[in-house]
Amino acid sequence: MNNEIWVFVQVNGQIIEPTSLQLITKAREIAGERPVVALITETKTMNVETTVKEYGPDKIVTLKDAQFHNASDGEIADALDQVVSDLKPNSLLFPATVLGRSVAPRLQAKLKTGLTADCLDIYFDGDDLVQVKPTYGDDIMCEIICPDVRPQMATIRPNIFKAVKHSTDTEIINYSFAFHPEANIEVLSEIPVINSSANISEAKTVIALGRGANNEKVIEKAEKLAGKLGGMVGVSRPLTDNDEFSHENQIGQSGNTIAPDLLINFGISGAVQYAVGIENAKKVVSINTDAHAPIFGKSDYAFVGDADAFMSALLEQVR
């Protein structure tokens, strides 16, 4: 066993999933003397390492095989098992994306080690990687360790940490392994979801609508306002039932974590599952008819009153 911290780099199509880069930066921050290693699975023609290198891992380990195009969770886990069992890292981090949360536990089962899902923070206490995750929704945090088995595995929620470029001498290792196709599964197709606009997690201004602002008139005004402010419209979970919104727009625990400079909440109560998604917003303004709505506790500015009335005034007065 060595003392390295490994980060799995997720690649979607040709694009590096941003969380992977965020995790490289975070790993460097908490590493101390421990080397940070990026672990990449890619097809032979791809060159993800060139971009990953810019974020300054000490080492990059690449597994290349044409069959990584449309690989199944089981196939990816099998490939990772080969390199991890051989080189025995101390810790192994995954983005808590759908793919990360599907592959990591399969790998965990092969390695018979611990895995903590959806961490909000990690730090070292001696050799223990302390994994901090929320539980039972209600502002309860849990610190989990895996004292006796290595690697220590965790999936970490997207967009909690910032990716920062860093230049260093990075050693690149092309690891040779055998791709074992899984007989009983076939990935038939992967169709990119056309994201008409940018990702809400990267928007600078977010107009968020909840059940107290769920009518066509207000939604239309919100779209206009978002246009004027160069922002995007986000929603609490109940509004994803509307035709015009989807999971892409959802803010919160089972949706997106956002980090805008300005967030305006209309008719959102501020349930814990929503609130965890907005913790990184810089300025928060909330509009709610209920003076005791929990959302006000998470806000810099509070307007106790009607969503439509405030929205109309804002539309008029913003140029």
Which residues inside 227-256 make contact with ligand FAD, applying CB under 6 A? Answer: 236-238, 250-255
Both tokens assigned to 124? 């070292």
Nearest to 269 by CA among 293, 240, 238: 293
Nearest to 9 by CA among 73, 83, 18, 175: 18
Q: Which of 211, 217, 247, 282 binds ligand FAD (CB under 6 A)?
A: 211
CB 118 within 8 A of CB 96: yes
Which listed option, another protein, ligand FAD, none, makes contact with residue 268 (CB within 5 to 8 Å by class)? ligand FAD
Strand-strand pairing, 205-209 and 91-95: unpaired
Q: Which of 54, 65, 118, 223 binds another protein (CB under 8 A)?
A: 118
| Residue 93 lies near another protein (rule: CB under 8 A) | no
Which range of residues in 21-29, 32-40, 173-181, 283-291 is near another protein by CB under 8 A? Answer: 283-291
How far is the C-alpha of 180 from the C-alpha of 68, rounded, in Å?
11
Amino acid at 117: A
Window 146-175: residues binding another protein (CB under 8 A): 146-149
Q: Tell me whether the omega of the peptide bond preceding residue 151 falls within 30 degrees of 0, making it cis.
A: yes
| Residue 312 lies near ligand FAD (rule: CB under 6 A) | no
Q: Which of 45, 126, 176, 188 binds another protein (CB under 8 A)?
A: 188
Q: Which of 74, 267, 281, 311 binds ligand FAD (CB under 6 A)?
A: 267
C-alpha R_g of the chain: 22
Question: Which residues here bind ligand FAD, judged by CB under 6 A?
Answer: 210-212, 236-238, 250-255, 267-269, 271, 273-274, 287-290, 293, 306-307
